[in-house]
Amino acid sequence: MIKIEHPQIDRIKEEYYEKISHKINLRLRFIRRVIEFQNAGVNNLVDEVNKLNTSAKGKILKRFFSSVRLPKSVSNEDIRLLSSDQFDQNINLVGLQSLLTRLEDENVLKNLILSDPVELTNINSSFNNGERHLMTEVVVNYSLIDSTLSYWLTSELDIAVCPYCNRNFINTIKNGSESIIRPDLDHFFSQRDYPWLALSFYNLIPSCKVCNSTCKGDENTRLDTHVHPYVEGFGDHAKFNFELQGLEGKKYDPKNLKITLDDRTHDNVSKIRIFGNGGVKEGNVRLFKLREIYNEHTDIVSEILEKCDENSDYYIKSIEPFLQKLQTNKKEVYRYYFGNYYEEKDFKKRPLAKLTRDIVDETGVLD
């Protein structure tokens, strides 16, 4: 719904690359040592293992020595007891070393991590060979984005509201060294279908749990069927509107209102990405249940309409003389009276910003 933009996005993604590539290279180097272990004995293997966190070294060693019952927490003594004849003979070493060589090339790794959304799907396909399952299980794996890195990334991006729904706050909050809350990081290209993109910068979408877990789950979204927040937002292609459907109580009683999300697209490509074309979860509106969820906010729309109705005691233009004395402008008046941001670039700062502006625009009160 809302496009993700940041004035320092290039700096953030370069710093992210430095942090994540360091973690990846540690694992690549260790896997090299494990392969050499078949012929070279235990030299350097213990030292390399100790550079990884406990869960990672156990996971990697269990993958290469699957016949050995290693404990959950692998010790140096456990490693010293390993022998080369316990190495899993089913592993395709030729394919594995081919992938290692590719990932050890900084240009290749940088493309994998930093390429834009359009290029990412082709990159994922180019890696689907050799020991791809092993490598995506222990090297290019989401587990590398630990709490420290995830909190750093979401803090830097500083997105206060979910870009998928523009409805829920997703602030990153810390208290000194204590990490309190942060957004989910949704994989636009699912980890199931695009395992090589698990760590790619433009495949990590800060989002709320409702959108990421409840609505989307592991659904395979694509650029031709869904809106990618780093590529575009809904803009004016989809506009919130309202219908009066009853006469219960006051005119703008929430029970009388239905919130609609109108199709204002001018091309079929945008229409499919936003509204879908038949598939139950095709298009962001269907996938994230935006029409259904937004109809829980008829009370908000009711208040907006009261402020836009010239017959209402709360009519915005009734306070114009006061506002003129303050020498304020249209945007400041809007923010003061409707409690939200008017410009699309600011929609990421507060929930329901698009809904509010679309409804106000529909009334024409600020024309």
β-strand 257-263 against 178-181: which pairing, if any? unpaired
Task: Return all residues near 7 (Cβ < 8 A) that are at least 6 apart.
Answer: none
- Picking from 85-94, 191-200, 238-247, which range would have the lowest pLDDT averaged per residue? 85-94
- β-strand partners of 179: 174
Comparing C-alpha atoms, which of 196, 192, 244, 199 is closest to residue 218? 192
Is residue 286 very low, low, confident or very high in pLDDT (cuts 50, 70, 90)?
very high
User: Which residue matches tokens 């070294």?
Assistant: 57
- Picking from 184-193, 254-263, 278-287, which range would have the lowest pLDDT averaged per residue? 278-287
What's the pLDDT score for residue 241? 97
Rounded to whole angstroms, the maximal C-alpha distance in the chain is 88
Three-class SS state of 349: helix
Q: Is 253 exposed, middle or buried (0-12, 13-18, 19+ CB in 10 A)?
A: middle
Q: What's the rounded Cα separation, in Å, for the pair 169 and 97?
A: 45
Q: What is the 3-state secondary structure (H, E, C) of 192-261?
A: CCCHHHCCCHHHEEEECHHHHHHHHCCCCCCCCCCCCCCCCCCHHHEEEEEEECCCCCCCCCHHHEEEEE
Is residue 279 very low, low, confident or very high in pLDDT (cuts 50, 70, 90)?
confident
The residue ranges of every structural domain in the chain are 9-142, 235-267+292-363
Rounded average pLDDT over 62-85: 82
Q: What is the distance in angstroms between the CA of the first residue and the CA of the last residue of the chain?
A: 25
User: Could you please report the per-residue DSSP string of 121-186?
Assistant: HHHHHHT-SSSHHHHHHHTS-GGGS-HHHHHHHHHHHT--B-TTTS-SB---EEETTEEEE--EEE
Tell me if 264 sits within 8 A of 236, measured CB to CB: yes
Residue 110, pLDDT > 70, answer yes
- Picking from 59-68, 151-160, 196-205, 286-295, which range would have the lowest pLDDT averaged per residue? 59-68
Q: What's the rounded Cα separation, in Å, for the pair 306 and 252?
A: 7
Ramachandran area for residue 133 (φ above 0: left; ψ -120 to 50: alpha; else beta): alpha
Higher pLDDT, 327 or 99: 99
Q: What does the pLDDT look like over 166-223, one tens digit per residue?
A: 999 999 999 988 999 999 999 999 999 999 999 999 999 999 999 999 999 989 899 9
User: Which residue matches tokens 């430095």?
Assistant: 18
Residue 9, pLDDT > 70, answer yes
Higher pLDDT, 82 or 140: 140
Rounded average pLDDT over 352-360: 96
Residue 233, pLDDT > 90, answer yes
Comparing C-alpha atoms, which of 171, 151, 155 is closest to residue 351? 171
Measured from the Cβ of residue 133, the count of other Cβ atoms closer than 10 Å reads: 11
